[in-house]
Structure 1
Amino acid sequence: MKHNILIRSFLKIYNLAEMFSDEIKKTAIPAFSGQSAFFMMLSFFPFIMFLLALLRFMPFTEDALISVLEAFIPTSFHQFLETIISGIYHSQSATLLPITIITSLWLASKSFLSLANGLNFVYEINETRNFILIRIYSVIYTIIFALLIIASLTVMVFGNSIYFFIRKHFPLLQGFILSVISLRSVISFFIMFCFFIIMYKAIPNRKSNFKSQVPGALTATCGWLIFSWLYSYYVDHFNNYATFYGTMTVIALLMVWLYACMYILFLGGLINKMLDKNIIFNK
């Protein structure tokens, strides 16, 4: 009896894996992952310029921004990130801030357009929205992501002040708030999770609720963070890429990481679609 149960369980898992593999091929996730990784790379610098331009009006330092962004990428790229942000931060002119903000925001939103195309294909949806409207949505999502990072900066920089204020006015919450402030990894996880939920809900050309996006968002968040940690470990301990790529090693490794993260992101969307259509449970 137990032997038959094990066989049935194995066959069910095998059929589910085969079905999932077929869905990946049908939705061209590898192709859209490559496209999105490319545009993410191009949009990175404009986004950082936009973020730094905003931070000039706020009491946040360059180091605080670096600390927040480093939570989302492998440790192998931290030095590269610090160099890029430092260079942009010290080269921006205050007199060009309005132009910098508008131009950088418009360019950074390009990556969300590629994500919209990919997610529409994953969900098997035709794009019927106006191009200008989609571009406006992309700009809004870029701003939301920037605001989430700024919120994280606020907790990091003013964490103690927030804690003392809550302890004084809301003593029952002080234990919870102290735990959240002391666990930066939890904050990073929460930011990514919220962003993925918003993205799966709003970017594709379809109507859905936030609750139905939770499985894919949770999968994408866990997958992103776990893969980043494993990839960082691999690069740190088996780094012979300089022989092949020379001075372009960091860029090449960053593109591989971005490609894998975009792949994970689209897999989260695929999981949401399969659950919405009851494809998984019907199997």
Structure 2
Amino acid sequence: MLSAGLVARSVVRGVRHPQDPDHRPRREPATPDTPPGSRAATPTDIPPAGWWQIIRRAFAESSKDNVSMLAGGVAFFGFLAIFPALIALVSLYGLVADPAQAAQTLESVTSALPASARPLVAEQLQAVVTSSSGGLTTGFIISALAALFSASSGTQNLMAAVNIAYDETETRSAVKLRLLALALTLGAVVFVIVSIALVAVAPFVLDHLGTVGRVIGQVVRWVLLVLLVVVGLAVLYRVAPDRDSPRFRWVTLGSVAATVLWVVGSVVFSLYVDNFGSYNKTYGALAGVIVLMLWMYLSSYVVLLGAEINAESELQTVQDTTKGPPRPMGSRGAAKADDVVAGRNG
């Protein structure tokens, strides 16, 4: 009878707690030797405690990597590249539209800039339109290629800074680096042209719906811009470092964080410059240049901080974060993917 009772008890327990082969195991708690989220297959699998570690390390690494100094260099070379990029952008856009219309559309997109810096960009756009023939001539091709080459120098400096954020050593040849920078620059120009088309068409279509349509059009314009910035940053974080490319899921959250910080930072900076700053009194005619460079510095810092966040999120897990079949640590071709932070206080 005792044996029968034990058997019956086991059967009852089996009914109450059936074995479900598809049951997903609970997340393993962190131990002194494993950080929270050490088995995460995606960034969303990392618990809040793990993300707290990631954010802390990202800011610590940004200080260690001298991101503030790197952002200054990126902003300087970006400033030198922005006007050649505008020339290439208006010239290429002018092949399918009137150059004046292209400049007008571009000027509306520059609303993200502080008010003090907008006239500087507007004047340059007007100069480009005045000198643009809008035709596919030999002079146009040479000018566009020269502008793209000049703009790619700024892109190459940004790539170098992102490479440092990922703790990678640059091994690519100068030719390969320049070609990749040119490809990214050309891709950015085409990307902006497509963005302009979407941003310009959406409000025009919705304007026919009256006041509500115009409001929706403005919302759609900014949502599209934000989404396009997220995608653009994700591509940059994926291809810029000298390493095996991470999966897109491991660059998305850093892109979102950088975009949100960029939008909020741009709004706050614009409000400060327009209402509290005294740049016009201090710098006079150079105020627009100074404000634009400060805004580019802020933007560069945020982009590099996003790269640090992505890099530290890869360091949080032992899972392979690179594209292709899973590989063991030490053979993934990426410094952050080939390591994991130690301990729950990592």
Gaps of 5+ in 2: 1-48, 207-214, 317-340
Hey, what's the Cα distance between the residues in 1 that align with 2:204 and 2:283?
47
1:64 aligns with 105
Change (3 A) 1:50 1:191: same
Check whether the contact 1:71–1:188 (CA below 8 A) recurs between aligned residues: no
2:327 aligns with none
1:186 aligns with 223
Check whether the contact 2:81–2:154 (CA below 8 A) recurs between aligned residues: yes
Hey, what's the Cα distance between the residues in 1 that align with 2:273 and 2:114?
9
Aligned partner of 1:137 among 180, 195, 198: 180
Hey, what's the Cα distance between the residues in 1 that align with 2:260 and 2:201?
27
Structure 1 counterpart of 2:96, which letter?
M
Identity score, percent? 24
1:86 aligns with 126
1:23 aligns with 61
Map 1:120-199 to 2 at 5 A: 120-159=163-202, 183-199=220-236
Change (3 A) 1:98 1:234: same
Q: CA deviation at 1:181?
A: 8.3
Structure 2 counterpart of 1:66, which letter?
E
Change (3 A) 1:282 1:102: farther
Check whether the contact 1:200–1:269 (CA below 8 A) recurs between aligned residues: yes
1:110 to 2:153 alignment: yes
Change (3 A) 1:72 1:203: farther
Q: Give the paired residue count.
A: 258
Hey, what's the Cα distance between the residues in 2 that align with 1:213 and 1:130?
25
Hey, what's the Cα distance between the residues in 2 that align with 1:141 and 1:221?
19
Check whether the contact 1:274–1:280 (CA below 8 A) recurs between aligned residues: no
Aligned partner of 2:114 among 69, 74, 90: 74
Which moved further from structure 2: 43-52 or 233-242?
233-242
1:33 to 2:96 alignment: no
Question: Normalised by the size of structure 1, how large is the TM-score?
Answer: 0.82
Q: CA deviation at 1:219?
A: 1.0
Hey, what's the Cα distance between the residues in 2 that align with 1:98 and 1:47?
14
1:42 aligns with 80
1:101 to 2:138 alignment: no
Structure 2 counterpart of 1:194, which letter?
V
1:217 aligns with 255
Change (3 A) 1:281 1:206: farther
1:270 to 2:308 alignment: yes
Q: CA deviation at 1:79?
A: 2.5
Q: Which runs of 4+ in 1 moved over 3 A?
A: 11-21, 92-95, 156-163, 178-182, 279-282
Gaps of 5+ in 1: 1-10, 164-177
1:203 aligns with 240
Indicate the RMSD between aligned Cα atoms, in angstroms: 2.7
Check whether the contact 2:114–2:273 (CA below 8 A) recurs between aligned residues: no
Check whether the contact 2:54–2:312 (CA below 8 A) recurs between aligned residues: no
